[in-house]
Amino acid sequence: MYSAKPIIRTDEEWKHILSPDVFRVARQSGTEPPFSGIYADCHDEGVYACACCKTHLFFSGDKFDSGTGWPSFSRPVHPDNTELHEDSSLGMVRTEVLCRRCKAHLGHVFDDGPLPDGMRYCMNSLSLSLVVCGTQSSDTNMSKSGRE
């Protein structure tokens, strides 16, 4: 069972914490253009965390090149760190992936990924923050200044 305390903030509070681009994608369910995100072609080792609340979401070892222009992962760090919701926007039915702790929009999951599970978690770079192995700091999209 998921036990982390939920983070609940108003849109105004998030706007003071996040850059406008991160707010648009993570808090308003936006999508960054393909091949534009800093993690689309990133091969650094570490853990990808939520850009809003730093919950660990995906290991770099589960990242793969899907050819879509968005960072793609075969599975989350733990299924309890994310939640899935039906998304029928844009005239299609997809499965939206949210951070369970702060409800940030991360991207969508599809069933056309690699074996053994066949899942492709197609995420927005703006919704993620890479914590590189062996460091305490993270390469982040979170703050307006680019620093935590």
Residues 6+ apart with CB under 8 A from 51: 18, 22, 26, 104, 126, 127, 128, 129, 140, 141, 142
Helix/strand number for the chain, H first, E second: 2, 10
Is there a catalytic annotation at residue 122? yes
Question: Residue type at 24?
Answer: R
Catalytic residue (one of 50, 52, 99, 122) = 122
In whole angstroms, give the CA distance from residue 89 to residue 39: 25
Asked if 62 contacts 53 with a C-beta cutoff of 8 angstroms, the reply is no
Task: Tell me the catalytic residues.
Answer: 122
